[in-house]
């Protein structure tokens, strides 16, 4: 192997010089990230000698510390690198394997093996995150030369490690079959300090074979290598350390029967050796390149029966023929009748084909029955073709399988050097990459440009097919079961669980959960039957959303209300019904005619507030009208709160829905009717000054403030005669005062804030508040706190609250697009429900009814719901169940009105309230009479 790398090193030196001359004037920052996906991943994309060239050229190289990396960080430091955790300064970040989504910095250029080019499902979450963060992704796998051969790869070292492993495995398998062989002295590749030690072990084995120490009853050993690329060459380098004679494939049968036992035999299988056109048995290489589906392989009959060990290193595509299928394995494993020479002490092999080392690691690929990769920890299994199962052993019936998908990690130092030599010539142009700049403006070579999978928030033209592959796979999964009613649930947040739980009680309903966070959707899908997770970002994948809508009978949108008009337009276009839990916005109202013409039902305001509040109000109001009474006043207050025992914080609050939305509501305007007078509260925080104590459930110590425009409900409720109409929000007493402190400090601010952007340097809360109150960041603590105290009206409670939340300290402010976004993240981390804690919902409607007798009756309608410990929250139940019930009613034809629908008619609120009671939501009604 050393003889292979030396000439390459000489040619690289010339390349290094030319690249340095071209880019020397650029002074950029790059980083080598820590590998953290697999415990065995000890490689790096560049070795210290490569780093030395880069730093010598005036560029800065950051290396994340890692005790797992095989090459000690002191050598990188000696080469001029800076060892540090924070690599956010780098414009280019390189690694070997994929990073976790949460560790991807936005607007950077990344280079690593992404394993996304086949739309691999396991990595689609990463791809979506990269697109969202507008990362430029360079995938080493797609860096190819003019002939399409990969130029940046570990392939040779995969072949080396794989061959060492399977020789070790053969030793174990032979022993299980009753034979001690020289292969027993070869270990797994990672057990050697370096490859030279492994080679010596193989040579020692070969020496014993050359002495004739292989058991005669085993017969000659034959090794078949598929492919002619680097993987195959690496494996052949190892077999050449044995006394090995290479033969042509057609000679394999003869040597397998009567070959020399002091050597082993090998053959390299190219396409023309086993591929033939189905129609006439001829091989045409040009035709095969374009139409592989016209061909089949006769490997199973012409080569496999004479093979002891198959080393598979060919790339497989679904259109290409397979080497071996299950029924081929069944035939190859039929026991051979023992000869007269066989004895108990010298048994013959049960069948010729003993082992397969599938270095390509394509599950279900060219080796059809290789359905799951083995691992470095558990490298071997036995494939029993009759039972079609794998045994985690080297004993028993079957073929020994080794299909590790990260083989080069077993030889990390040599693999790093080898890979770095191939990557290094292209590092110089990658260094100058600016992910914010259009890709066409970059001076990339074809080798780099053609390997860019994403840039500027989208897939590059060459890789747009990935989205189509994903959609095709999703569509097949969604439509697999016939006769199902299909529901598309948009969103996987707080309230989605009850929606899925309720709907999937019906075995005839299938739910597709579409979320920007695929892991959340997968978690939900794992809990419930007939549930399929998909990734969808409605902000950037409108075409994907349209495709999903088309394949469903009904859509439930749990997205923020601003997205509902977009969703509704796709539903109208595809004639698919829609249910939402959000307010009927002006933009939605504009779609009334279109929805009617499309013949679809769009149910809005089917949650808690709005939703249950409407239904309880209309039940009471309709009954009053039926009794000949009129409604003189209506007040409705609702709040999602922590259970009292969980409210031990200055806000007396914890988040059971969107933190950003909760905070934003506190600076919203409000309009309501009070004693015949319309009262308007402007935006900006005045709402919190309108808070009043709420004493209807005095044990809860509540306060309330108006919410949005209450007056617009006079007409739909049919209570235009009412002199008072207020809809408001409930909180525990003290919330409004505390929130007012945030408002006075300018922290509830939605304007873009560059100093908090993801690319900006960290900012402390003290520095941010200094900016907000007009002080320099260097001001002393005492002066700083005095200024803040002054700004919050010298309120001690508010001051203690800021201290409690760590917002007067040097603690870093979370990165966000706005100050409000940062505050939301900060509070969410501190005010999340801990395991076992409960939330609660309190709703109170007071309806003043004037009877024809002149008597005034006030109906007090209350709803108190507690969350379940380790179960659904109260918020999830009271928002999710109404939406799910409405969806079920639409699917069943119980709600059939076309156009926009709100739950204010008896045919809707009657059945829904009844079904909610069946789910444990109990409403209580009391009356107070006045003469």
Q: Which residues are catalytic?
A: 609
Cα separation, 260 vs 472, in Å, equals 53
Cα separation, 422 vs 447, in Å, equals 12
The structure tokens listed for 770 are 């200094």
CA within 13 Å, CB half, 694 = 26
Q: Which residues pair with 727 in a beta bridge?
A: 636
C-beta of residue 52 within 8 angstroms of C-beta of residue 81: no
C-beta of residue 416 within 8 angstroms of C-beta of residue 423: no
- Burial of 666 per CB tally in 10 Å (0-12, 13-18, 19+): buried
Could you tell me the CA-to-CA distances from 575 to 267, 397, 570, 602, 860 in Å, in that order? Answer: 61, 57, 8, 11, 41
If phi > 0 it is left, if psi is from -120 to 50 it is alpha, else beta; for residue 774 that is left
The structure tokens listed for 828 are 């969410």
User: Which phi and psi (to 5°) does residue 356 adopt?
Assistant: -130, 125
How is residue 216 annotated by DSSP?
A: G
C-beta of residue 401 within 8 angstroms of C-beta of residue 333: no
C-beta of residue 110 within 8 angstroms of C-beta of residue 98: no
C-beta of residue 251 within 8 angstroms of C-beta of residue 267: yes
The structure tokens listed for 36 are 């953290």
Closest CA to 199 of 171, 175, 234: 234
Cα separation, 63 vs 82, in Å, equals 6
- Burial of 791 per CB tally in 10 Å (0-12, 13-18, 19+): middle
Closest CA to 922 of 872, 861, 873: 861
How is residue 152 annotated by DSSP?
A: S
Closest CA to 366 of 306, 408, 311, 406: 311
Label the pairing between strands 29-32 and 60-63.
parallel
Cα separation, 921 vs 158, in Å, equals 60
The structure tokens listed for 780 are 């002393």
The structure tokens listed for 899 are 């156009």
Q: Which residues pair with 311 in a beta bridge?
A: 225, 357
Three-state secondary-structure class, residue 857? strand
- Burial of 396 per CB tally in 10 Å (0-12, 13-18, 19+): exposed
Go through the chain and tell me how many residues it has: 931
Residues 6+ apart with CB under 8 A from 781: none
Rg (CA), the chain: 35
Closest CA to 109 of 93, 131, 123: 93
Task: Please give the full DSSP string across 184-203, using - where no structure is assigned.
Answer: GG---GGGSSSHHHHHHHHH
Three-class SS of 441-480: HCCCCHHHHCCEEEECCEECHHHCHHHHHHHHHHHHHHCC
């Amino acid at each position: 192997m050393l003889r292979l790398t030396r000439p390459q090193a000489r040619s690289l030196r010339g390349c290094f010089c030319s690249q340095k001359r071209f880019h020397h004037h650029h002074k950029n920052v790059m980083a080598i990230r820590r590998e953290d996906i697999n415990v065995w991943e000890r490689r790096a994309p560049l070795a210290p000698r490569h780093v030395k060239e880069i730093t010598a050229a005036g560029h800065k190289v950051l290396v994340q510390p890692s005790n797992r990396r095989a090459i000690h960080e002191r050598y990188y430091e000696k080469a001029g690198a800076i060892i540090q955790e924070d690599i956010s300064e780098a414009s280019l970040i390189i690694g070997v394997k994929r990073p976790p989504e949460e560790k991807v910095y936005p607007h950077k250029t990344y280079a690593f093996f992404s394993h996304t080019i086949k739309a691999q499902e396991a990595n689609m979450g990463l791809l979506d995150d990269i697109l969202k963060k507008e990362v430029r992704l360079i995938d080493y796998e797609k860096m190819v030369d003019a002939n399409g051969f990969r130029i940046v790869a570990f392939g040779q070292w995969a072949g080396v490690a794989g061959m060492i492993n399977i020789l070790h495995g053969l030793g174990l398998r032979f022993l299980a079959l009753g034979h001690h062989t020289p292969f027993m002295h070869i270990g797994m590749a990672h057990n050697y300090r370096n490859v030279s030690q492994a080679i010596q072990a193989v040579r020692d084995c070969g020496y014993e074979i050359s002495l004739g120490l292989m058991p005669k009853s085993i017969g000659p050993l034959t090794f078949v290598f598929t492919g002619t690329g680097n993987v195959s060459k690496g494996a052949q380098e190892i077999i050449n350390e044995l006394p090995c004679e290479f033969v042509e494939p057609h000679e394999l049968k003869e040597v397998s029967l009567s070959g020399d036992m002091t050597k082993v035999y090998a053959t390299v299988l190219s396409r023309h050796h086993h591929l033939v056109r189905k129609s006439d048995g001829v091989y045409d290489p040009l035709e095969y390149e374009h139409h592989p589906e016209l061909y089949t392989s006769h490997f199973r009959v012409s080569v496999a029966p004479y093979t002891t060990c198959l080393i598979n290193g060919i790339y497989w595509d679904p259109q290409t023929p397979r080497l071996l299928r299950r029924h081929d394995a069944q035939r190859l494993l039929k026991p051979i009748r023992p000869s007269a020479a066989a004895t108990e002490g010298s048994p013959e092999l049960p069948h010729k084909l003993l082992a397969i080392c599938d270095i390509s690691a394509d599950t279900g690929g060219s080796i059809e029955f290789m359905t799951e990769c083995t691992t470095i920890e558990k490298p071997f299994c036995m494939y029993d073709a009759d039972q079609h199962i794998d045994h985690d052993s080297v004993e028993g019936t079957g073929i020994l399988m080794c299909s590790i998908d990260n083989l080069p990690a077993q030889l990390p130092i040599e693999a790093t050097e080898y890979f770095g030599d191939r990557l290094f010539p292209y590092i110089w142009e990658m260094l100058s990459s600016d992910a914010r700049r259009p890709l066409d403006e970059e001076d990339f070579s074809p080798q780099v440009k053609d390997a860019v999978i994403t840039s500027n928030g989208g897939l590059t033209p060459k890789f747009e097919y990935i989205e189509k592959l994903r959609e095709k796979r999703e569509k097949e999964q969604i439509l697999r079961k016939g006769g199902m009613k299909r529901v598309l649930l948009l969103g996987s947040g707080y309230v989605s669980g009850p929606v899925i739980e309720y709907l999937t009680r019906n075995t005839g309903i299938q739910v597709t959960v579409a979320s920007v966070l695929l892991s959340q959707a997968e978690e939900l899908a794992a809990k419930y039957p007939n549930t399929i997770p998909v990734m969808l970002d409605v902000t950037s994948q409108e075409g994907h959303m349209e495709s999903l809508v088309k394949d469903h009978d009904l859509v439930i949108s749990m997205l923020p209300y601003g997205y509902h008009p977009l969703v509704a337009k796709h539903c109208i276009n595809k004639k698919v019904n829609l249910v939402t839990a959000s307010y009927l916005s002006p933009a939605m109202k504009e779609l009334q005619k279109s929805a009617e013409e499309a013949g679809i039902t769009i149910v809005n305001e089917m949650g808690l507030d709005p939703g249950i509040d409407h239904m309880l109000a209309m039940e009471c109001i309709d009954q009053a009208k039926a009794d000949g009474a009129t409604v003189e006043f209506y007040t409705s207050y609702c709040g999602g709160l922590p259970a009292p025992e969980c409210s031990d914080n200055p806000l007396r609050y914890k988040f059971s829905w969107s933190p950003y939305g909760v905070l934003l509501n506190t600076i919203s305007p409000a309009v309501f009717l009070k004693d015949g007078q319309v009262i308007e509260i402007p935006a900006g925080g005045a709402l919190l000054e309108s808070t009043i104590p709420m004493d209807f459930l005095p044990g809860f110590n509540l306060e309330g403030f108006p919410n949005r425009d209450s007056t617009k409900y006079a007409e739909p409720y049919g209570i235009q005669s009412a002199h008072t109409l207020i809809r408001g929000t409930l909180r525990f007493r003290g919330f409004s005062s505390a929130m007012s402190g945030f408002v006075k400090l300018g922290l509830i601010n939605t304007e873009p804030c560059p100093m908090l952007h993801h690319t900006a340097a960290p900012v402390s809360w003290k520095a941010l508040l200094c900016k907000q109150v007009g002080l320099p960041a260097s001001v002393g603590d005492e002066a700083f706190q005095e200024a803040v105290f002054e700004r919050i009206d010298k309120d001690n409670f508010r001051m203690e609250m800021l201290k409690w939340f760590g917002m007067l300290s040097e603690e870093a402010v979370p990165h966000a697009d706005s100050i409000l976004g940062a505050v939301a993240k900060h509070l969410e981390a501190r005010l999340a429900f801990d395991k076992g804690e409960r939330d609660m919902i309190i709703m109170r409607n007071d309806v003043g009814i004037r009877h024809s007798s002149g008597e005034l009756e006030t109906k007090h309608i209350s709803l108190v719901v507690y969350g379940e410990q380790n179960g659904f929250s109260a918020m999830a139940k009271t928002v999710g169940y109404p939406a799910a019930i409405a969806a079920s009613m639409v699917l069943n034809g119980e709600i059939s009105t076309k156009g926009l629908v709100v739950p204010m008619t008896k045919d809707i609120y009657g059945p829904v309230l009844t079904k909610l009671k069946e789910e444990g939501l109990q409403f209580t009604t009391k009356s107070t009479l006045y003469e």
